[in-house]
Chains A and B, each alone.
Chain A
Amino acid sequence: MKRGRTREQTPDSHAFPTRPYDLVKEAVIAVIAVTLLTFGLAAVFSSPDEKPVTVATWSQADPADFTATAVTELGGTSATAQYGPPYNTAADGQKLGPLPLQTWAGVKHPIDTANDFVLQPLRQTPEPAAVTAALARWNAASADQQTKWTGAYSDALGKAPNGDPAKVAAGDYGPVPVLTARLLQLGQSGTLDAQLLAEGHYFQTDYTRALLFLADGSYLQDQARTQHLGGDQWGMMNETGNYPGQAWLWLYTFWYQVQPYKSSTNADALVWGTMALLSALLLLLPFIPGLRDIPRLTRVYKLIWRDWYRDHPTPNPGTART
Protein backbone atom coordinates (compact mmCIF):
# COMPACT_ATOMS: atom_id res chain seq x y z
CA MET A 1 0.00 0.00 0.00
CA LYS A 2 2.94 2.24 0.70
CA ARG A 3 4.01 1.86 -2.92
CA GLY A 4 0.57 3.03 -4.09
CA ARG A 5 0.71 6.09 -1.84
CA THR A 6 4.16 7.02 -3.18
CA ARG A 7 2.88 6.89 -6.73
CA GLU A 8 -0.03 9.16 -5.81
CA GLN A 9 2.36 11.73 -4.33
CA THR A 10 4.59 11.85 -7.40
CA PRO A 11 3.40 14.81 -9.50
CA ASP A 12 2.89 14.49 -13.21
CA SER A 13 5.80 15.96 -15.19
CA HIS A 14 3.40 18.37 -16.93
CA ALA A 15 2.53 19.88 -13.55
CA PHE A 16 6.02 21.40 -13.22
CA PRO A 17 6.59 24.97 -14.41
CA THR A 18 8.58 25.28 -17.63
CA ARG A 19 10.98 27.78 -19.12
CA PRO A 20 12.41 28.14 -22.66
CA TYR A 21 15.94 26.77 -23.11
CA ASP A 22 18.03 27.06 -26.30
CA LEU A 23 19.95 23.78 -26.28
CA VAL A 24 21.60 24.36 -29.70
CA LYS A 25 22.90 27.77 -28.59
CA GLU A 26 24.25 26.19 -25.39
CA ALA A 27 26.02 23.42 -27.36
CA VAL A 28 27.57 25.89 -29.82
CA ILE A 29 28.89 28.05 -26.95
CA ALA A 30 30.32 24.93 -25.24
CA VAL A 31 32.09 23.75 -28.43
CA ILE A 32 33.56 27.21 -29.08
CA ALA A 33 34.74 27.56 -25.46
CA VAL A 34 36.38 24.11 -25.43
CA THR A 35 38.03 24.73 -28.82
CA LEU A 36 39.48 28.07 -27.66
CA LEU A 37 40.67 26.48 -24.41
CA THR A 38 42.31 23.58 -26.29
CA PHE A 39 44.22 25.78 -28.73
CA GLY A 40 45.03 28.35 -26.05
CA LEU A 41 46.43 25.85 -23.56
CA ALA A 42 48.35 24.02 -26.32
CA ALA A 43 49.94 27.31 -27.41
CA VAL A 44 50.94 28.26 -23.87
CA PHE A 45 52.01 24.88 -22.46
CA SER A 46 52.67 22.72 -25.56
CA SER A 47 52.78 18.97 -24.79
CA PRO A 48 55.14 16.36 -23.27
CA ASP A 49 58.24 15.91 -25.39
CA GLU A 50 59.99 12.79 -24.12
CA LYS A 51 62.17 10.88 -26.56
CA PRO A 52 60.92 7.29 -27.05
CA VAL A 53 62.77 4.45 -25.36
CA THR A 54 63.66 1.86 -28.00
CA VAL A 55 65.77 -1.28 -28.01
CA ALA A 56 68.46 0.78 -29.77
CA THR A 57 68.55 3.54 -27.13
CA TRP A 58 68.46 0.91 -24.36
CA SER A 59 71.30 -1.19 -25.74
CA GLN A 60 73.40 1.93 -26.37
CA ALA A 61 72.75 3.48 -22.96
CA ASP A 62 72.98 0.32 -20.87
CA PRO A 63 74.64 -2.57 -22.77
CA ALA A 64 75.20 -4.53 -19.54
CA ASP A 65 71.46 -4.55 -18.72
CA PHE A 66 70.63 -5.43 -22.33
CA THR A 67 73.05 -8.39 -22.29
CA ALA A 68 71.84 -9.64 -18.90
CA THR A 69 68.23 -9.46 -20.15
CA ALA A 70 69.10 -11.22 -23.42
CA VAL A 71 70.60 -14.11 -21.41
CA THR A 72 67.39 -14.47 -19.38
CA GLU A 73 65.34 -14.48 -22.62
CA LEU A 74 67.61 -17.19 -24.03
CA GLY A 75 67.44 -19.25 -20.85
CA GLY A 76 63.67 -18.82 -20.41
CA THR A 77 63.98 -17.16 -17.00
CA SER A 78 62.80 -13.63 -17.90
CA ALA A 79 59.52 -12.21 -16.61
CA THR A 80 57.93 -12.70 -20.04
CA ALA A 81 59.15 -16.30 -20.32
CA GLN A 82 57.65 -17.09 -16.90
CA TYR A 83 54.47 -15.01 -17.23
CA GLY A 84 51.93 -17.50 -18.53
CA PRO A 85 48.89 -16.62 -20.67
CA PRO A 86 48.51 -14.86 -23.08
CA TYR A 87 52.17 -15.48 -24.02
CA ASN A 88 52.91 -19.04 -22.86
CA THR A 89 51.86 -21.77 -20.44
CA ALA A 90 54.68 -21.30 -17.92
CA ALA A 91 52.24 -20.11 -15.21
CA ASP A 92 48.51 -19.67 -14.57
CA GLY A 93 48.59 -15.88 -14.92
CA GLN A 94 46.35 -13.54 -12.94
CA LYS A 95 43.60 -15.12 -10.85
CA LEU A 96 40.56 -13.62 -9.17
CA GLY A 97 40.28 -15.82 -6.08
CA PRO A 98 39.89 -19.34 -7.45
CA LEU A 99 39.04 -18.09 -10.95
CA PRO A 100 42.04 -18.40 -13.36
CA LEU A 101 40.97 -15.55 -15.64
CA GLN A 102 44.05 -15.54 -17.87
CA THR A 103 44.14 -19.32 -18.21
CA TRP A 104 40.54 -19.17 -19.38
CA ALA A 105 41.47 -16.54 -21.96
CA GLY A 106 44.27 -18.82 -23.21
CA VAL A 107 47.56 -18.23 -25.00
CA LYS A 108 46.46 -15.68 -27.61
CA HIS A 109 49.88 -14.15 -28.38
CA PRO A 110 52.39 -17.02 -28.20
CA ILE A 111 55.95 -15.88 -27.51
CA ASP A 112 59.00 -18.12 -27.21
CA THR A 113 61.47 -15.63 -25.77
CA ALA A 114 64.61 -17.58 -26.77
CA ASN A 115 63.50 -17.93 -30.35
CA ASP A 116 61.55 -14.68 -30.87
CA PHE A 117 63.87 -12.29 -29.03
CA VAL A 118 67.32 -13.84 -29.63
CA LEU A 119 67.72 -16.74 -32.07
CA GLN A 120 65.38 -15.63 -34.86
CA PRO A 121 66.80 -12.08 -35.11
CA LEU A 122 70.30 -13.59 -35.27
CA ARG A 123 69.28 -15.98 -38.06
CA GLN A 124 67.54 -13.23 -40.05
CA THR A 125 70.65 -11.08 -40.42
CA PRO A 126 73.93 -11.87 -42.21
CA GLU A 127 75.93 -13.79 -39.65
CA PRO A 128 79.67 -13.77 -39.01
CA ALA A 129 81.08 -17.31 -39.12
CA ALA A 130 81.48 -17.37 -35.33
CA VAL A 131 77.76 -16.64 -34.89
CA THR A 132 76.76 -19.35 -37.39
CA ALA A 133 78.87 -21.84 -35.45
CA ALA A 134 77.43 -20.63 -32.13
CA LEU A 135 73.86 -21.02 -33.41
CA ALA A 136 74.64 -24.54 -34.64
CA ARG A 137 76.17 -25.45 -31.27
CA TRP A 138 73.16 -24.03 -29.40
CA ASN A 139 70.68 -25.94 -31.57
CA ALA A 140 72.60 -29.19 -31.16
CA ALA A 141 72.70 -28.95 -27.36
CA SER A 142 70.10 -30.48 -25.06
CA ALA A 143 67.67 -28.25 -23.17
CA ASP A 144 69.44 -29.15 -19.95
CA GLN A 145 72.82 -28.09 -21.35
CA GLN A 146 71.34 -24.83 -22.69
CA THR A 147 69.96 -24.05 -19.22
CA LYS A 148 73.37 -24.72 -17.63
CA TRP A 149 75.12 -22.38 -20.08
CA THR A 150 72.65 -19.50 -19.62
CA GLY A 151 72.52 -19.98 -15.84
CA ALA A 152 76.32 -19.93 -15.54
CA TYR A 153 76.62 -16.86 -17.80
CA SER A 154 73.88 -15.00 -15.88
CA ASP A 155 75.70 -15.66 -12.61
CA ALA A 156 79.03 -14.59 -14.11
CA LEU A 157 77.51 -11.36 -15.48
CA GLY A 158 76.10 -10.63 -12.03
CA LYS A 159 79.58 -10.95 -10.53
CA ALA A 160 81.41 -8.99 -13.23
CA PRO A 161 82.23 -5.30 -12.50
CA ASN A 162 79.16 -3.25 -13.61
CA GLY A 163 77.84 -6.40 -15.28
CA ASP A 164 80.25 -5.72 -18.16
CA PRO A 165 80.35 -8.77 -20.50
CA ALA A 166 83.98 -7.93 -21.37
CA LYS A 167 84.96 -8.44 -17.72
CA VAL A 168 83.22 -11.78 -17.13
CA ALA A 169 85.41 -14.45 -15.53
CA ALA A 170 86.37 -17.40 -17.71
CA GLY A 171 83.94 -20.33 -17.57
CA ASP A 172 81.87 -22.80 -19.52
CA TYR A 173 79.17 -20.63 -21.08
CA GLY A 174 78.97 -22.49 -24.41
CA PRO A 175 77.90 -20.28 -27.32
CA VAL A 176 75.93 -17.86 -25.11
CA PRO A 177 78.51 -15.00 -24.99
CA VAL A 178 78.87 -15.04 -28.81
CA LEU A 179 75.10 -15.02 -29.34
CA THR A 180 74.39 -12.21 -26.88
CA ALA A 181 77.34 -10.12 -28.11
CA ARG A 182 76.00 -10.30 -31.67
CA LEU A 183 72.48 -9.49 -30.45
CA LEU A 184 73.90 -6.44 -28.69
CA GLN A 185 75.39 -5.29 -32.01
CA LEU A 186 72.01 -5.74 -33.70
CA GLY A 187 70.33 -3.83 -30.87
CA GLN A 188 72.74 -0.92 -30.98
CA SER A 189 72.42 -0.61 -34.76
CA GLY A 190 68.60 -0.40 -34.54
CA THR A 191 68.13 -3.61 -36.54
CA LEU A 192 66.59 -5.47 -33.60
CA ASP A 193 63.81 -2.86 -33.20
CA ALA A 194 62.67 -3.52 -36.78
CA GLN A 195 62.99 -7.29 -36.36
CA LEU A 196 60.89 -7.37 -33.18
CA LEU A 197 58.21 -5.29 -34.90
CA ALA A 198 58.14 -7.38 -38.09
CA GLU A 199 54.78 -9.08 -38.55
CA GLY A 200 54.94 -9.99 -42.21
CA HIS A 201 52.55 -7.16 -43.15
CA TYR A 202 53.18 -3.85 -44.89
CA PHE A 203 52.28 -1.82 -41.78
CA GLN A 204 53.80 -2.78 -38.42
CA THR A 205 51.42 -2.00 -35.58
CA ASP A 206 52.09 -4.69 -32.97
CA TYR A 207 54.67 -3.45 -30.45
CA THR A 208 54.09 -6.33 -28.02
CA ARG A 209 57.39 -8.16 -28.54
CA ALA A 210 59.58 -5.05 -28.44
CA LEU A 211 57.78 -3.75 -25.35
CA LEU A 212 58.03 -7.08 -23.51
CA PHE A 213 61.75 -7.35 -24.25
CA LEU A 214 62.25 -3.78 -23.02
CA ALA A 215 60.14 -4.42 -19.92
CA ASP A 216 62.17 -7.51 -19.01
CA GLY A 217 65.22 -5.29 -18.50
CA SER A 218 65.63 -2.75 -15.73
CA TYR A 219 66.43 0.26 -17.99
CA LEU A 220 62.81 1.03 -18.96
CA GLN A 221 61.63 0.66 -15.37
CA ASP A 222 64.37 2.98 -14.13
CA GLN A 223 63.36 5.60 -16.72
CA ALA A 224 59.71 5.28 -15.67
CA ARG A 225 60.46 5.54 -11.94
CA THR A 226 62.51 8.68 -12.52
CA GLN A 227 59.35 10.24 -14.00
CA HIS A 228 57.11 8.95 -11.16
CA LEU A 229 55.38 6.52 -13.52
CA GLY A 230 55.97 3.37 -11.44
CA GLY A 231 53.01 1.30 -10.30
CA ASP A 232 53.77 2.02 -6.62
CA GLN A 233 54.16 5.75 -7.35
CA TRP A 234 50.51 6.30 -8.43
CA GLY A 235 52.08 6.27 -11.89
CA MET A 236 48.82 5.50 -13.68
CA MET A 237 47.58 9.05 -13.02
CA ASN A 238 50.91 10.80 -13.72
CA GLU A 239 52.43 12.32 -16.84
CA THR A 240 56.05 13.04 -17.70
CA GLY A 241 57.56 16.35 -16.59
CA ASN A 242 55.22 18.84 -14.93
CA TYR A 243 52.20 18.06 -17.10
CA PRO A 244 48.94 16.99 -15.44
CA GLY A 245 48.12 13.34 -16.02
CA GLN A 246 45.08 11.10 -15.84
CA ALA A 247 43.71 12.35 -12.52
CA TRP A 248 40.45 10.47 -13.08
CA LEU A 249 42.34 7.16 -12.61
CA TRP A 250 43.08 8.02 -8.97
CA LEU A 251 40.83 5.30 -7.54
CA TYR A 252 42.16 2.62 -9.89
CA THR A 253 45.79 3.32 -8.98
CA PHE A 254 44.94 3.90 -5.30
CA TRP A 255 44.30 0.18 -4.72
CA TYR A 256 47.85 -0.67 -5.83
CA GLN A 257 49.21 1.44 -2.94
CA VAL A 258 47.41 -0.41 -0.10
CA GLN A 259 47.26 -3.94 1.25
CA PRO A 260 46.31 -6.61 0.30
CA TYR A 261 46.61 -5.44 -3.31
CA LYS A 262 50.10 -3.98 -2.85
CA SER A 263 51.82 -7.28 -2.10
CA SER A 264 49.54 -9.60 -4.06
CA THR A 265 50.81 -11.40 -7.15
CA ASN A 266 47.26 -11.13 -8.48
CA ALA A 267 46.99 -7.39 -7.89
CA ASP A 268 45.87 -6.65 -11.47
CA ALA A 269 42.97 -9.09 -11.25
CA LEU A 270 42.04 -7.99 -7.72
CA VAL A 271 42.03 -4.30 -8.63
CA TRP A 272 40.02 -5.03 -11.76
CA GLY A 273 37.51 -7.04 -9.72
CA THR A 274 37.22 -4.31 -7.08
CA MET A 275 36.63 -1.61 -9.70
CA ALA A 276 34.10 -3.82 -11.50
CA LEU A 277 32.22 -4.24 -8.20
CA LEU A 278 32.29 -0.49 -7.47
CA SER A 279 31.15 0.26 -11.04
CA ALA A 280 28.25 -2.15 -10.59
CA LEU A 281 27.29 -0.38 -7.34
CA LEU A 282 27.31 2.97 -9.18
CA LEU A 283 25.22 1.52 -11.99
CA LEU A 284 22.68 0.06 -9.55
CA LEU A 285 22.64 3.10 -7.25
CA PRO A 286 18.90 3.84 -7.72
CA PHE A 287 18.09 0.35 -6.39
CA ILE A 288 20.35 0.30 -3.32
CA PRO A 289 18.63 1.46 -0.10
CA GLY A 290 20.72 3.96 1.83
CA LEU A 291 23.01 4.88 -1.04
CA ARG A 292 20.10 6.03 -3.17
CA ASP A 293 18.94 8.32 -0.32
CA ILE A 294 22.18 10.35 -0.27
CA PRO A 295 20.92 13.07 -2.69
CA ARG A 296 17.70 13.42 -0.66
CA LEU A 297 19.56 13.61 2.66
CA THR A 298 22.34 15.96 1.52
CA ARG A 299 19.77 18.29 -0.11
CA VAL A 300 22.20 19.63 -2.69
CA TYR A 301 19.21 19.87 -5.04
CA LYS A 302 17.75 22.56 -2.78
CA LEU A 303 20.90 24.58 -3.36
CA ILE A 304 20.68 24.16 -7.13
CA TRP A 305 16.97 25.03 -7.29
CA ARG A 306 17.14 27.57 -4.46
CA ASP A 307 15.07 30.17 -6.39
CA TRP A 308 12.19 27.74 -6.65
CA TYR A 309 12.33 26.67 -3.01
CA ARG A 310 12.57 30.30 -1.89
CA ASP A 311 9.37 31.10 -3.76
CA HIS A 312 7.63 27.87 -2.76
CA PRO A 313 8.53 27.23 0.88
CA THR A 314 5.71 24.76 1.43
CA PRO A 315 5.34 21.52 -0.53
CA ASN A 316 2.76 21.51 -3.29
CA PRO A 317 2.12 19.35 -6.37
CA GLY A 318 4.86 21.21 -8.26
CA THR A 319 7.69 20.52 -5.80
CA ALA A 320 9.83 17.49 -5.41
CA ARG A 321 9.11 15.33 -2.40
CA THR A 322 11.63 15.93 0.40
Chain B
Amino acid sequence: MLTLPPLPARLLAAPIDLNGPGHYLHWGVIQISVANLVVIGLMLIAFVAAILLPFPRKRGRR
Protein backbone atom coordinates (compact mmCIF):
# COMPACT_ATOMS: atom_id res chain seq x y z
CA MET B 1 0.00 0.00 0.00
CA LEU B 2 1.38 3.42 -0.98
CA THR B 3 1.71 5.82 1.93
CA LEU B 4 2.09 9.51 1.20
CA PRO B 5 3.84 12.01 3.47
CA PRO B 6 1.57 14.49 5.30
CA LEU B 7 0.27 17.48 3.33
CA PRO B 8 2.56 20.16 4.91
CA ALA B 9 5.61 18.01 4.09
CA ARG B 10 4.41 17.59 0.50
CA LEU B 11 3.81 21.32 0.13
CA LEU B 12 7.27 22.18 1.50
CA ALA B 13 9.09 19.47 -0.46
CA ALA B 14 11.47 20.57 -3.20
CA PRO B 15 9.88 20.28 -6.68
CA ILE B 16 13.07 18.69 -8.04
CA ASP B 17 14.43 15.88 -5.86
CA LEU B 18 18.10 15.14 -6.52
CA ASN B 19 18.34 12.46 -3.79
CA GLY B 20 18.58 9.50 -6.15
CA PRO B 21 21.32 7.36 -7.65
CA GLY B 22 23.92 9.72 -9.12
CA HIS B 23 24.65 9.91 -12.84
CA TYR B 24 28.32 9.75 -13.77
CA LEU B 25 30.31 9.96 -16.98
CA HIS B 26 33.45 7.84 -17.44
CA TRP B 27 36.16 8.71 -19.94
CA GLY B 28 39.43 6.87 -19.35
CA VAL B 29 40.76 7.92 -15.99
CA ILE B 30 38.20 10.70 -15.73
CA GLN B 31 34.98 10.21 -13.78
CA ILE B 32 32.67 13.18 -13.34
CA SER B 33 29.11 13.58 -12.19
CA VAL B 34 26.61 15.15 -14.58
CA ALA B 35 25.77 17.67 -11.84
CA ASN B 36 29.41 18.80 -11.58
CA LEU B 37 29.65 18.98 -15.36
CA VAL B 38 26.58 21.24 -15.49
CA VAL B 39 28.02 23.54 -12.82
CA ILE B 40 31.39 23.72 -14.61
CA GLY B 41 29.56 24.51 -17.87
CA LEU B 42 27.62 27.32 -16.17
CA MET B 43 30.86 28.73 -14.76
CA LEU B 44 32.47 28.73 -18.21
CA ILE B 45 29.41 30.45 -19.69
CA ALA B 46 29.56 33.10 -16.93
CA PHE B 47 33.29 33.60 -17.61
CA VAL B 48 32.85 34.03 -21.37
CA ALA B 49 29.83 36.30 -20.84
CA ALA B 50 31.80 38.46 -18.40
CA ILE B 51 34.45 39.00 -21.09
CA LEU B 52 32.20 39.44 -24.10
CA LEU B 53 29.22 41.37 -22.74
CA PRO B 54 29.75 45.14 -23.05
CA PHE B 55 30.14 47.27 -19.93
CA PRO B 56 26.91 49.11 -19.07
CA ARG B 57 27.29 52.80 -19.75
CA LYS B 58 25.11 55.85 -19.36
CA ARG B 59 23.45 57.17 -22.50
CA GLY B 60 25.55 59.62 -24.47
CA ARG B 61 28.84 58.62 -22.88
CA ARG B 62 31.37 56.22 -24.25
Contacts and interface: CB of A to CB of B under 8 A. Distances in A.
B2 interface: no
Contact of A244 (B14, B20, B39, B54): B39
B62 A307 contact: yes
5 contacts: A45-B14, A46-B18, A241-B19, A241-B21, A247-B43
Interface stretch (A128-136, A215-223, A231-239, A276-284): A231-239
A173 B62 CA distance: 88
B14 A242 contact: no
Interface in A252-271: 257-258
A243 B36 CA distance: 8
Interface string B20-37: 111110000111111110
A233 B16 contact: no
A258 B20 contact: no
A48 B51 contact: no
Residues of B in contact with A, size category: 20 to 34
Nearest to B43: A247
Contacts of A300: 51
Closest 9 CB pairs of A and B: A46-B14, A244-B35, A242-B18, A244-B39, A241-B19, A247-B36, A234-B31, A257-B29, A241-B18
B33 A238 contact: yes
A258 B16 contact: no
Contacts of B29: 257-258
Given A46-B13, A242-B35, 8 more contacts: A45-B16, A46-B17, A48-B18, A234-B30, A242-B33, A244-B35, A245-B36, A247-B36
A239 B35 contact: yes
Contacts of A43: 14
B31 to A, nearest CB: 5
